[in-house]
Amino acid sequence: MALGKVSVNNLNLGQGPVTEIERYFLFIGPASANVGELVALNTQSDLDVELGVDASDLKTQIAAAQLNGGDRWACMAAPIAPDGDWAEALDKAQQAGVSVEGVIITTPVTTGAELTAMQDKATEITNVYGRRVFFMAATRGIDITPEPEPPLKTAAASKDPDTSAKSPRATPKAVQTTEGETPAPRIPEDWSTYLTAQRAITAGVAAQRVMVVPQLHGNDQGVLAGRLANAIVSIADSPMRVASGPLQGLGPVPVDAAGVPLPGSVRAELDKARFSVSQTYPDYPGVFWADGNTLDAPGSDFQVIEYLRIVDKASRRIQVLLIQRVADRRLNNTPNSMATATSAFMRPLRDMARSVTVNGQVQPGEIESPKDGDVTIFWKSKTAVEIYFTVTPYNCPKDLTAYIALDLSNGEEE
């Protein structure tokens, strides 16, 4: 004999959305308030209250990002002491569960080793936390301020009081170095000198998760960070995109020691050296951005930031699907299971590929729609499985050329 029993259970099929961290950045740099804390900021935040009334690179860059980031802009800030270590602040943020897409280090770097350290840190974060981040470093702008004259020391007074009285204005003698040589004063830079110094920083550096922005206008780094964080622009869009609008609040045009304004040729050379710089178009109003260069090696896949961002976004969503299937025997090597799993693993790619048509114009998704073969499942053993994904970005017109022909036929041909 038995009693009838009925049970209804809810099944979690893992179909919900994943928390989006794209466009959310962590800014690290010296400030005069909330040192050692993690400060959440958005468009309504008073930066003087949160970061201190004193001027700082951190506040300057965040203000520029706030202006360029749109109405949904938000970020996390980690103010540190003037001699603080950005790596320690980043470790604290990671331990606190702060997951971001990008890390903005506002203190200018001076050597390639500092850029390599950022790449190493990005790799460490992936290895330890499974998180993918890119870094945006800064370098100084042009220096046209001469070095103050060294302090002067008058010649030793004679023991003869009469002698000293006769020469009340003895010729001063410059302080000398230990080698007996007077240190040479710093010479204000021209654009050629500045360009040479900047090239030396990125020369020989291979760091696919690091961008470098020269602070030519004083707040270039923050302007780019805001442009990349703007919600009305796809993460698959290059910061070069003119349709995104001109840059907002960019600092004054810099000049060199001779008073020459920043020439386009210097911007072009900095771009060749893999810096990310602003640019203008002749007879077209506004200042825009050039490519969002990374320090990836020549010939590599991630030399521009938009390619890295779309792959990282896909990776974050695929990672969740993999975790949900750990030791789940529904994923097995039978034909039905393989087909079901392939379709499920394609879902993040299909979501990223979704396009919208507005007024007859198609706004493309972040990637092309996945096709057969873009997801491949391979069983290495009874318990180890590997899944291979292919993500295809759209073509993007960055170098446009027009050819114009003249028709002189006069319409007489039949």
Which domains does the chain possess?
25-144+189-289 (3.40.50), 329-402 (no CATH)
Q: What average pLDDT score do residues 99-107 get? A: 98
Q: What average pLDDT score do residues 266-277 get? A: 98
Residue 15 has what pLDDT? 76
Percentage of the chain exceeding pLDDT 70: 90
Residue 158 has what pLDDT? 45
Between 163 and 149, residue with greater pLDDT? 149
Residue 185 has what pLDDT? 63
- Sorted by sequence, the CB contacts under 8 Å of residue 331 that are 6+ apart come out as 325, 337, 341, 385
Q: How far apart are CA 181 and CA 167, in angstroms?
A: 26
Residue 145 has what pLDDT? 85
Residue 111 has what pLDDT? 98
Residue 170 has what pLDDT? 41
Between 388 and 145, residue with greater pLDDT? 388
Q: How far apart are CA 369 and CA 374, in angstroms?
A: 10
Does residue 346 register a pLDDT over 50? yes
Weakest-pLDDT range from 148-157, 240-249, 262-271: 148-157
Span 112-157, pLDDT tens digits: 999 999 999 999 999 999 999 999 999 999 998 876 666 655 544 4
Does residue 49 register a pLDDT over 50? yes
Does residue 347 register a pLDDT over 70? yes
Q: pTM, whole model, 2 decimals?
A: 0.88
